[in-house]
Structures are given as structure tokens and as C-alpha cells.
Amino acid sequence: MTTNYPAIPDDFPREPAKGAVGGYQPKVLLRRAGDRLISGLTDEELFKRYEACEDLVQQLASYVRRQRAESQSQSLFDTLSRIEIDATRKVTSGQWDISPAEITWTMKRVRELLAEKLKADGTPGMPET
């Protein structure tokens, strides 16, 4: 039985399976998923990772908007930079189960959402990072 998942954006990271096998000859890293041997994530696993990242995008975008409403003294660029540093620190320390490529995608997506909101509000665009 196959499940149809909503389309995952083409730019969402699809990282190869991680692992190592000792020995001289090259090896292919596979794992059993149901009755198949696969390399990488199943469609369901990829969708769950995408869904988690998209949820984080929405939370971070809301957080940035609240921070901006409370403190107009800090620029949007500075707010985003600080949040990206904090998020990256949580990923590298193992607090969040998100890959470095996924946090990069997540922050890019947060910037896109905020740019859309600024454009809709008629506010001048934000700087590129």
C-alpha cells in the first residue's frame, strides 16, 4: 500500500544515509524497510522530516514577528542572525534532531515567509543574507 504525501519542495535537503562500514573495498550502505533494501530515507521518513522543519519555520517566523513587535530597536537582519545562531547551536549540540542542511533550509524558508509578509504589508524588503 502506498501513501500519497503532499509535494516536498525540490530544495528540501535529501541527504544520503549516514554510516560507515570498515574494510578495504567500497560498500553500499543499505537498510531494510519492509520487504525492500533502501539507501536513504523512505518517502514517509522524508515527509516527516519536511513536516517537522516546516513546523519549525512557522514557529520561528512567528517568534521573529513577536520580537520585532516588542523591540523595534533591533533590525530584522540582526534578529534573524541571532535566531539562526541559536538554532544552529541547538542542532550542533544535539538538542534538535535536524541536520545542518535542514536548518539552513529552515532559515531560508523563514526569510522567504517574512519577505512575503513585508511585501504584503508594503514594507521595504529585507536584506539578503
Comparing 124 with 74, the larger pLDDT belongs to: 74
Query: What is residue 129's predicted lDDT score, i.e. its pLDDT?
Result: 46
Query: How much is the pTM?
Result: 0.76
C-alpha cell at 117: 509578509
Angle at CA of residue 101, ends 98 and 44, nearest 5°: 60
Averaged pLDDT for residues 64-74: 82
In tens, the pLDDT along 74-106 reads 788 888 999 999 999 999 999 998 999 999 999
